């Protein structure tokens, strides 16, 4: 425990405190307006009644403090130290990567919308956030029907002899081929921006004025186009619920059950609810401190920062955090906890979402427990398979052969433990030997706590025999093994219908497969894991094939050797980006001359539609 005499010597100033455990590890990083008052509150005589703090305080053996000049500096330092040390008792959003926004740079010749993850202060406009890439793509799909902006880079489009398919579908105005003037295209861009901001009234007003102006000039086709746009916007807006008037707002709600803190963010844009995002984190301290830590962690990322953030409880540092967000955003952002009115109702709505998210999580956990228990019983496993690994091989006649490992924990993907394996020792198309190499590399040196409960291999008894042989040779014990063979087509030539056999599960030392009821939850889980391993393997295989194809093209160009090829791929980051690069971008590579850049560009695009330029 901390020496009580030391607590009275702590400075009465803003700063950051670091609580350390028995081995000197940092357990928790916190900020304070007054270090003395804040730290003493953990170790005072009333601490026993605050059950959620007991777990942390009981483990604290040492304490460090860092004094800062202002509360804002303390807030910044706290965020930096949390990212550096990842303390056990701080909120950690490391595994959440599903932040997507739409980006449009008005400085481009013909601006277009792209889906991005990171929001940076680069002068472009950002819209969102969206809960997933599919949600962002759906927004784009609807938007293109109203505002036919270009879809692809100009350099790519201008290489084509004719406009792309989206032009035929009336979802692109083909500015790359001069089929729309710069002024008309700019009007579409401005309309799309207003629509994405939720400024539908302003947009309707602008379009009505333009329709009236075009009609007055007797340009009836242009007036009819604006009329159709107005009708389409009205139909779209009718499907969207306008909750409140105002600008961009994020609304936070939370609920708590034990150490699980469920938080829900509602995203309001132009008074319209465009989406939400839920988080469940482990938190053992005060609710207000948990909300403050979450906001600091969330908005410390590259995300869209709104005009205001509504919070369910006062957190004590609203003004400081608002000032920090305003500096990061470049515009004013405020945080406050409304007590009545429409905004208070929005907070209550966010709280309901947080409660529902936590309830669904509990239901999923209970369902997963039942499912894994049934899987254990049906496959006669030693224990409930909480951690399952699955392996697959992907190759075409032995070329670019790769293996994959996916991991599921409690019936959910654990992507941090996915792995890819480039086959090193096997020549030719020998799937069994490739599987042996992958499994041997995986289990050659592994700690007992890193072992899965169940291993699945894609295939039949042959692949299963390889797995059991490797485990036996490497003396890996306590792990169950099965193989899952895909269903086969069974067609009677006299019958016009095509039938498929059942999915088959094979166990070691058993000739006949285990019969699981088709479409039963245990079999569907096994098939899901197998299909995920196949997807993960084949995407890596395709990546290597693409790199191999480009590498072979580069190797055929006089003047391109291993060093320059490596420099090009390192500079552009991906094969796709290398293909999209212009001649000028290629020539900007230090060792590439303009003539060599022209040769590279021609070689990479000789199979494009229309061929390479003569």
- Please report the pLDDT score of residue 240 as a whole number: 47
pLDDT at residue 399 above 80? no
pLDDT at residue 226 above 80? no
* Top-confidence range, 194-198, 211-215, 219-223, 408-412: 408-412
With beta carbons less than 8 A apart as the criterion, state whether 114 and 103 touch. yes
Instruction: Give the list of residues 6+ apart from residue 320 with CB closer than 8 angstroms, or none.
Output: 71, 72, 75
**Stretch 96-108: mean pLDDT:** 78
- Residue intervals in the chain for CATH 3.30.420.340: 249-359, 387-533
With beta carbons less than 8 A apart as the criterion, state whether 226 and 207 touch. yes
- 387-533 CATH, one of 3.40.50.880, 3.30.1490.20, 2.70.98.60, 3.30.420.340: 3.30.420.340
- Please report the pLDDT score of residue 396 as a whole number: 67
Going by pLDDT thresholds of 50, 70 and 90, the confidence category of residue 382 is very high
Going by pLDDT thresholds of 50, 70 and 90, the confidence category of residue 238 is very low
- Residue intervals in the chain for CATH 3.40.1440.10: 4-85
Per-residue pLDDT reduced to its tens digit, 247-269:
789 999 999 888 889 999 998 88
∠575-577-581 over CA atoms, to 5°?
120
- Residue intervals in the chain for CATH 1.10.150.20: 556-604
Q: Which residue has the higher pLDDT, 545 or 452?
A: 452
**Stretch 318-336: mean pLDDT:** 91
pLDDT at residue 236 above 70? no
- Please report the pLDDT score of residue 110 as a whole number: 92
- Please report the pLDDT score of residue 48 as a whole number: 45
Q: Minimum mean pLDDT among 52-56, 438-442, 494-498, 554-558: which range?
A: 494-498
Query: What percentage of the chain reaches a pLDDT higher than 70?
Result: 86
576, burial (CB in 10 Å: exposed 0-12, middle 13-18, buried 19+) = exposed
Instruction: Give the list of residues 6+ apart from residue 195 with CB closer than 8 angstroms, or none.
Output: 143, 146, 147, 203, 233
**Stretch 481-506: mean pLDDT:** 69
Domain 556-604 sits in CATH at: 1.10.150.20
- Please report the pLDDT score of residue 239 as a whole number: 46
First to last CA, the chain: 79
Task: In whole angstroms, give the CA distance from residue 507 to residue 501.
Answer: 18
Domain 4-85 sits in CATH at: 3.40.1440.10
| Residue the block writes with tokens 């746009």 | 229
- Please report the pLDDT score of residue 553 as a whole number: 62
For 106, the 3-state DSSP assignment is coil
Domain 249-359 sits in CATH at: 3.30.420.340
DSSP state, residue 222: H
- Please report the pLDDT score of residue 255 as a whole number: 93
């Amino acid at each position: 425990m901390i020496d009580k005499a030391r607590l009275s010597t702590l400075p009465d100033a803003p700063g950051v405190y670091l609580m350390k455990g028995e081995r000197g590890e940092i357990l928790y990083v916190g900020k304070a307006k007054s270090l003395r008052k804040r730290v003493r509150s953990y170790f005072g005589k009333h601490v026993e009644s605050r059950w959620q703090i007991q777990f942390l305080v009981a483990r604290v053996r040492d304490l460090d403090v860092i004094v800062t000049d202002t509360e804002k500096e303390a807030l910044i330092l706290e965020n930096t130290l949390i990212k550096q040390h990842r303390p056990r008792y701080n909120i950690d959003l490391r595994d959440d990567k599903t932040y997507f926004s739409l980006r449009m740079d008005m400085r481009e010749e013909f601006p277009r919308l792209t889906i991005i993850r990171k929001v940076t202060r680069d002068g472009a406009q950002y819209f969102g956030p969206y809960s997933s890439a599919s949600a962002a793509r759906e927004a784009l799909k609807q938007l293109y029907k109203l505002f036919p902006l270009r879809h692809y880079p100009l350099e790519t489009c201008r290489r084509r002899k004719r406009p792309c398919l989206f032009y035929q579908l009336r979802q692109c105005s083909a500015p790359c081929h001069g089929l729309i003037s710069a002024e008309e295209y700019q009007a579409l861009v401005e309309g799309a921006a207003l629509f994405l901001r939720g400024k539908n009234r302003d947009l309707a007003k602008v379009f009505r004025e333009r329709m009236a102006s075009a009609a007055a000039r007797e340009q009836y086709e242009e007036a009819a186009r604006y009329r159709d746009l107005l009708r389409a916007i009205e139909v779209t807006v009718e499907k969207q619920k306008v909750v409140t008037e105002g600008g961009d707002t994020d609304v936070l709600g939370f609920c708590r059950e034990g150490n699980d803190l469920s938080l829900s963010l509602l995203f309001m844009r132009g008074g319209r609810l465009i989406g939400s995002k839920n988080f469940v984190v482990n938190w053992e301290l005060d609710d207000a401190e948990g909300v403050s830590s979450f906001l600091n962690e969330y908005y410390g990322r590259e995300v869209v920062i709104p005009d205001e953030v509504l919070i369910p409880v006062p957190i004590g540092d609203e003004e400081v955090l608002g000032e920090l967000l305003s500096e990061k955003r470049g515009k004013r952002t405020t945080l406050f906890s409304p007590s009545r009115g429409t905004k208070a109702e929005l907070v209550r709505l966010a709280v309901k979402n947080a409660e529902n998210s936590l309830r669904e999580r509990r239901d999923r956990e209970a369902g997963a427990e039942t499912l894994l228990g049934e899987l254990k019983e049906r496959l006669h496993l030693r224990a409930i398979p909480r951690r399952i690994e699955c392996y697959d091989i992907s190759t075409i006649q032995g070329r670019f052969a790769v293996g994959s490992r996916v991991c599921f924990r409690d019936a959910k993907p654990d992507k941090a433990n996915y792995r890819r394996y480039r086959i090193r020792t096997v020549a030719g198309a020998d799937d069994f030997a490739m599987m042996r190499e992958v499994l041997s590399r995986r289990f050659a040196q592994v700690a007992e706590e890193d072992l899965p409960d169940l291993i699945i291999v894609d295939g039949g008894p042959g692949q299963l025999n390889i797995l059991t042989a490797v485990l036996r040779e490497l003396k890996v014990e306590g792990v169950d093994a099965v193989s899952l063979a895909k269903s086969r087509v069974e067609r009677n030539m006299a019958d016009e219908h095509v039938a498929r056999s059942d999915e088959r599960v094979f166990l070691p030392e058993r000739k006949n497969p285990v019969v699981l009821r088709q479409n039963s939850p245990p079999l569907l889980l096994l098939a899901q894991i197998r299909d995920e391993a196949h997807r993960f393997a084949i995407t890596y295989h395709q990546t290597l094939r693409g790199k191999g194809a480009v590498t072979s093209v580069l190797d055929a160009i006089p003047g391109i050797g291993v060093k320059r090829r490596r420099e090009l791929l390192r500079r552009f980051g991906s094969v796709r980006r290398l293909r999209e690069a212009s001649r000028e971008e290629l020539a900007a590579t230090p060792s590439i001359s303009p003539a060599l850049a022209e040769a590279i560009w021609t070689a990479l695009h000789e199979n494009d539609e229309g061929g390479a330029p003569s």
